[in-house]
Structure 1
Amino acid sequence: MGIFKDIITTILSFKSYVLLPIIMLVLSIIIGLKLQKAIKSSITLGIGFVGIFIVFDYFVAKVGPVLKAVIARTGIKQNVMEVGWTPFAGISWSFKLVPLLILLILVINIILLFLKMTNTINIDIWNYWHFIFAAQLVYYFTNNAILSCLAAIFLLVLCIKFADWSSKDVEELTGLRGISITTLSAQAYYSFAVFMDKLFDRIPVLRNLEANPESIKNKLGFCGEPMSLGILMGAVLGIAAGYPVKDILDISITIAAVIYILPKMTAILGEGLMPISDGMKEYMLRKFPKFKDTNIGLDSSLIIGNPAVIVTGILLMPVALVFSFILPGIKFIPLGDLPNTIGAVVMIVVAMKGNVVRSFITGIPVIIGTLYTSSYMAKALTLLAKQTGYKVSGYDGLITSFYDGGNLLRFWCVRLFSGSLWTVACIPVVAFLIYFTYKTKRSNA
């Protein structure tokens, strides 16, 4: 077990934009893709991810100081520090059950494939941490390894099924064939979004409202361009931060550039993925006909560059900030994770087929619930961090993570397997959303 853990640690020491191309290269060789084509496609995939990370990191670096300035001008101070998702990803990989959990995740996925209970093979090893983190939290509350593993498996199965049901929607929105999204932080809200989308179909004003970036651009011309929204949002943030004109223009152009460039990076990802995806389809059809519809489960970063996703995320960022100021009982200001609003709404936008208005409205209750959940989880997350030796330099108070500490599906699952009675009362609601998604989207699988 120690050797296995060392191997996993070594593998995970690679950056995701290095690890994924290696995995895809091995997969390409297995399925019989020509070596030159396999190498080119894998490297292109890595380049696309590097491009996305560069642009997004630049966005975070530029927006972070603006948000700090906005918060400073309000004079509001909270007693919990929001540190983002990164520390908790690292904490999860230090969990003593990691080798067992990775083995379980792989085996359960393969079993489901052979039983034809899923069309998705989840090769996004880095994001296994989302399931491991749930197991770690259950272990924190219960000190029971069996319950911890069961919680991780339960979330894995749910996530894979959501990936199956949403795969056709992903293809329609992005044009990427044979791909499904297996990132729990994004898939957690897919079933709720599917329900809301059907609800919007019954509301006269919203029923026929076309609000994807392309239709908005056609109606409003340049003013409807996503980059124009970037200019506007940058100006609003700059003014709220009290910036001079020069800096307002700087942040405005920055956000416009991010909105414009990210879709280009996603196109590069698609260029690398499509030969591998098509090759896998041909291989499965030739060798394992009953697995011919198998999808490759990958990170939600594949969709993060979609204009509708970017626009929705940027629109919801100030909403999350305002709610953290005005809602009673919120104990933190979502500074560290706020830019990741874009990643959190990925599957909401997918379910809404790129409709920005529907996605924005659906995102509001998700943000409110996440704010309260991550506030509630602050004490547990802080103690868990201390147990693993994580410290924030110069700070010894409570910490939390907005989107991953407050992930609503994982929170419910963790408390369910930890024996909280209120979670039992929520089972009919969760079961209804899952069943509704199954009935609505099962033909996608």
Structure 2
Amino acid sequence: MSKPPHPFTLHNFRAYWLARLSGTLAQMAMVIVIGWQVYDIARQTMGVKESAFYLGLIGVAQFLPLLVLSLVAGWVADRVDRRLIARAALLLEAGCAAALAWMTWSGIIALPALFTIAALLGVARAFAGPSLSALAPNLVPAAVLPTAIAMSSVSWQTGAVLGPALGGYLYAANPALPYAVSAALFAFSVAMLSLVRPINAQGKPSGGNPWQQMVEGLTYVRRNRLVFGAISLDLFAVLFGGVTALLPVYARDILMVGSEGLGHLRGAPSLGAVLVAIGFSIRPLRNNVGQRMLWAVAVFGAMTALFGLAGPIFYWAMGPAAIGHDYAPGVALSLLALVVLGAADMISVYVRSSLIQLSTPDAMRGRVGAVSTLFISGSNELGEARAGFFAAVIGPVAATAVGGVLAVAITGLWAYIFPELRRARNFETVKTLEFPPVEPPKEKAQ
């Protein structure tokens, strides 16, 4: 039996990998600056808690388009060339970046414009997520799909490491510069996707009207308890344990490290994630995948709580010397907690992505990917909203620490509710599982 090829030896996957890396760099550089500008503009006239509330609203603005469009986007991804959908979504993101660059350069940037662009980015992501996730399995043989998923995560996490730092440093040089660079990176991503050659025709949704076909994705996920448990665990763990929205608050008013330090804080989780992803690309995870995912999510929650408390505890014990620069004890421990948090999250992402891709027929990958995107974005954007709203009520430190503790509790509850997660031994077993087919609605008796 011949050895399966490494994904990087395949032309289509190389172009896809570069497109994903470039697009993630652009997206992360943009998002970090949008959050900083929203908080900075609001902070000029409001207090810390009131300004944190606006960070929560930014999460809502990005999530609402995903909530409305995800089922449609998944159905489209199963019927239209996935390369075309991804390129169109990236072009929309490029236009958003160019608009923000012009408004910032002209000095007319304001909260309404930032919220509008955030909503448009949500539209783009609603279509880009399912099309890109469904495209990846078409580019490599099934035997190397877990390795390809790890390599794809390397590109995404590398962009997530470098993007925030890039955005922070460019913003310090000129506030319009990160948006201009992001527009160029999105354009490069479109060019790379244009190099992906036509792939074998994927299966198409069969039977029923479009709405019925859209709902099939939800039905499939609900009936597949292993996938449903993995996706919903991520939803609730990040919903309560996400810290991204409050990083501008920590950078400016708690750790006091400025916009450059914000880039470091935002990139720290992805640094841990990319190290784990590189390890999985060399030596894929093979045994006890379900249990390892559960433990990883618990560590994610614990590190969230540690991050929330590290800076304030050191400041209470040591005074101002504990904060204000990246090598101060409180800041250093906060960064370390974020690195471990990201590494734990990458284990969960790797297992969840492999479960979804290996157990989903190609004809449904777009719709199932849309459901996954909706859950993941729900956890991210709604998690940001939860963090901002909690911070407005009980303060950012308590909001972060309590969220981390709740994420650990959610993990224990999910281990009990979904024993399938504890019993998932390896991905080879997942591929041979038989799940109930999605049945069409029965006709009413005459």
Tell me which interval the TM-score lies in, with the shorter structure as reference length.
under 0.3
Bigger fraction of residues in helix: 2
TM-score by length of 1: 0.22
TM-score by length of 2: 0.22
